[in-house]
């Protein structure tokens, strides 16, 4: 219990000061009606700490359809709900580990056995994304997290690994930590560096605006 509380506290500390991205910047996929249906209930919810776990679980697909900004903002709500054992359908672990290990299933159709693969070395969709694998895509999508956020995610993944008596996700979690999250937790940009960058950008834009007004 103490370990769980420590992980929850770490998640609150790492993600607690993030700004709401805005209603227009939550949806990442626009193919079909499902992304809209999954993301729409999150619009206007400007404090992820007050979202009911039932809504999170009802819209488990949102984890796949959020924009990067939406995922970064709302992921901690899913993590904490999961740590409280309040999720039945939503699986934040999958979002954080898929793409770092390979899975294969044999599917026999008549006399032929097809090997269906997913994960690290599997192509996403060659007709649209060429040689991009799920590993490439996952590394890009998860690069949104700061060092502190990545450290909280590592703590969450380790707790989930160690608290599961059946070890269902153990191999996938360890692969994700080894291949990606440990390095991210050590070397990703800090929250302070991100904040400072935004301040400098605002100062630069303000200076340009003043300069333009002076010349006009």
Instruction: Express each pLDDT in 129-162 by its tens digit.
Output: 999 999 999 999 999 999 999 999 999 999 999 9
Residue 172 backbone phi and psi in degrees, to 5 = -65, -40
Q: Say how far residue 172 (Cα) sits from the centre of its chain.
A: 16
Other CB atoms within a 10 A radius of the CB of residue 99 amount to 29
Extract the residue ranges of the chain whose pLDDT is less than 70.
1-2, 213, 215-216
Specify burial of residue 118 (Cβ count, 10 A radius: 0-12, 13-18, 19+): middle
Contacts 24+ apart (CB under 8 A), 87-91: 87/53, 87/56, 87/57, 87/60, 88/57, 89/57, 89/58, 89/60, 90/56, 90/57, 90/59, 90/60, 90/63, 91/60, 91/63
Cβ contact 93:102 at 8 Å = no
Cβ contact 74:62 at 8 Å = yes
Give the angle 148-154-159 at the CA atoms, nearest 5°: 130
Q: What is the pLDDT of residue 2?
A: 64
Q: What are the boundaries of each domain within the chain?
A: 1-90, 94-189
Specify burial of residue 15 (Cβ count, 10 A radius: 0-12, 13-18, 19+): buried
Q: What is the pLDDT of residue 210?
A: 83
Quote the mean pLDDT of the chain: 95
């Amino acid at each position: 219990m103490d370990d769980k509380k420590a992980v929850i506290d770490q998640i609150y500390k790492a993600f607690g000061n993030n700004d709401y991205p805005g209603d227009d910047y939550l949806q990442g996929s626009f193919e079909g009606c499902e992304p809209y249906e999954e993301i729409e209930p999150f619009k206007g919810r400007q404090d992820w700490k007050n979202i009911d776990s039932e809504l999170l679980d009802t819209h488990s697909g949102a984890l796949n359809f959020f924009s990067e900004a939406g995922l970064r903002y709302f992921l901690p709500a899913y993590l904490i709900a999961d740590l409280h054992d309040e999720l039945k359908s939503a699986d934040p672990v999958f979002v954080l580990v898929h793409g770092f290990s390979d899975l294969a299933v044999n599917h026999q159709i008549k006399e032929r056995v097809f090997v269906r693969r997913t994960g690290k070395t599997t192509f996403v969709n060659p007709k649209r994304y060429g040689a991009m694998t799920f590993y490439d895509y996952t590394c890009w999508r998860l690069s949104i997290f700061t060092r502190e956020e990545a450290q909280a995610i590592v703590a969450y993944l380790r707790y989930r690994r160690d608290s599961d008596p059946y070890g269902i996700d153990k191999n996938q979690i360890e692969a994700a930590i080894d291949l990606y999250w440990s390095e991210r937790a050590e070397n990703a940009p800090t929250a302070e560096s991100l904040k400072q960058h935004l301040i400098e950008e605002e100062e630069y834009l303000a200076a340009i605006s003043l300069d333009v007004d002076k010349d006009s």
